[in-house]
Amino acid sequence: MTVFNSPYFDGHELVAFKHDARSGLRAIVAVHNSNLGPALGGCRMYPYANDDCALDDVLRLSRSMTYKSALAGLPLGGGKAVIMGDPSKNKSRDLLLAMGRFIEDLGGRYITAEDSGTTVADLKIIAESSSYVSGVLDGGRHGGDPSPYTAEGVFHGIKAALKFKHGSADLADVHVAIQGAGAVGRHLISLLILEGARVFAADINTRNCELARLAGAHIIACDEILGFAADVLAPCAMGAAINADTVEIIQAGIVAGAANNQLANAAQGERLRQRGIIYAPDFMINAGGIIDVYYQRAEGSSASTSAHIAGIAASLTEVFERSAASGVSTAAVAEGMAEERFLLGKHTKVA
Ligand code: NAI
């Protein structure tokens, strides 16, 4: 394992490793950039095949948090933590407390939150041994779960893209295809249907298909969703949904969904632009969760959280306009805007 030669090392400020013999904890925290504030990002627990996979993941994810928070106008840097292990087998109270001590030892340079493989209940245990934990408030509309806020941001982003492409954000009879009816996807279905959209959803999990159907979506096959003839495609499952093969079959004029790392690589962003498809960069449109987590820590009101999330629409519109004017993909434009903010330390609140 080499940190500095990893393909995902990008001038990260801090990479810290922890082993706790008693609980079996093996974890890595990465702080990518803290120019705008302390690094905030989730703590993922996953049975990585080896140390290199865990390191690559934490380097990649912490970098994207820097971009996400900068574009969301939050006074935060980018960080992430990974725990190596199977959450269904290796998670224990002792392990989570040891993780908390690890985070506490970093003195506030990294603030943790929920991520895949960890729950709000786990975060509450981590918070027993660290004060640098966010997203554990019982109050608020959703009791610490960020996914409804992420869905809210995606909903605003879809409307911004419709307005930019068609001149109207009206969702009545707009057809939206959603890949992945999990926590975010299902909230998104409800928000869209409330405003009159027709929603088509696919999920590999039959129970989640059933829940999506109950929420009002029409269920279609997983291998048909990306090429489905809809107005909007919302990838809300796993990363790299848009790759060299799938980018050519997309029929929707807008791609706007929650999944992280939707583009397999930058070439797909450019290909979408060439095909005249408006792509809402994932690290902008899915910032609702981090905005909620930030306000929970700052003890902001639910009104300020919602107002800030609604501001994602204006930021995305700026990206669409700059992309159209420059002929550069929306993803590249958004990365440039983020760098303007965190490299120059310019903090611009979006709402
Ligand atoms: P989830 O795990 O609750 O839902 C994902 C769903 O996708 C599951 O129902 C799964 O069965 C389905 N799925 C997986 N592969 C599929 C495939 N090939 N075709 C169709 N369905 C498939 O996850 P959640 O929380 O809803 O997140 C969705 C995406 O959004 C993830 O990429 C996540 O990283 C990203 N995200 C989530 C945030 C949150 O607040 N939960 C915040 C920012 C990003």
Whether residue 76 sits in one domain with residue 43: yes
8 lies in the same domain as 154:
no
Using the predicted structure, report yes or no on whether residue 113 has a pLDDT greater than 80. Answer: yes
pLDDT per residue as tens digits for the range 307-345? 999 999 999 999 999 999 999 999 999 999 999 999 976
Instruction: Identify whether 139 is part of a domain.
Output: no
Which residue type, as a one-letter code, is found at position 279? Answer: Y
| Residue 138, in any domain of the structure | no
**CA–CA dist 176, 192 (Å, integer):** 8
User: For residue 348, is pLDDT > 80?
Assistant: no
Contact yes or no for 304/243 (Cβ under 8 A): no
115 and 185 share a domain? no
Residues near ligand 1 (Cβ within 6 A): 146-147, 150, 179-185, 202-205, 208, 222, 236-238, 258-260, 286, 289
Share of the chain above pLDDT 70, in %: 96
Q: How confident is the model at residue 1 (pLDDT cuts 50, 70, 90)?
A: confident
Report whether pLDDT(350) > 50.
no
Can you give the pLDDT at residue 70? 97
Q: Say if residue 185 is in the same domain as residue 328.
A: yes
- Write phi, then psi, for 177 (nearest 5 degrees): -105, 125
- The answer to whether position 351 is within a domain reads no
pLDDT number for residue 154: 98
pTM value is: 0.92
pLDDT tens digits for range 216-231: 999 999 999 999 999 9
DSSP lists the bridge partners of residue 19 as 26
What are the CA-CA distances from residue 24 to residues 5, 56, 132, 296 (Å)? 27, 21, 22, 31
For residue 351, what pLDDT is reported?
38
Tokens representing 306 are: 């919602």
Same domain? 161 vs 194 = yes
Tell me, in angstroms, the distance from the centre of ligand 1 to residue 76's CA.
24
Between the CA of 116 and the centroid of ligand 1 the distance, in Å, is 9
* CA–CA separation, 114 and 191 (whole Å): 23
At residue 138, does pLDDT exceed 70?
no
Identify the pLDDT of residue 346.
54
Verify that 92 and 167 share a domain, yes or no: no
Tens digits of residue pLDDT in 274-286: 999 999 999 999 9
Residue 242 maps to which CATH number?
A: 3.40.50.720
Q: What is the pLDDT of residue 143?
A: 59
Tell me the residue range of the domain where 59 lies. Answer: 3-126
Q: Taking residues 189-196, what's their average pLDDT? A: 98
Which of 57, 213, 260 is the best mutation target for the ligand 1 pocket, counting ligand atoms within 8 Å of the beta carbon and taking the most? 260
Q: What percent of the chain has pLDDT over 90?
A: 87
Residue 145: pLDDT over 90: no
Rounded CA separation 199/308 (Å): 26
pLDDT of 148 higher than 60: yes
Query: Is residue 136 one of the residues assigned to a domain?
Result: no
Q: Which atom of ligand 1 is nearest to the CA of 239?
A: 32
Helix H or strand E segment including 46:
strand 39-46
183 CA to centre of ligand 1 in angstroms: 7
**Tens digit of each residue's pLDDT (9 = 90 or more) over 49-65:** 999 999 999 999 999 99
Output the CA 272–ligand 1 centroid distance in Å: 22
Active site residue 18: no
Domain boundary among 96, 126, 156: 126
349 lies in a domain? no
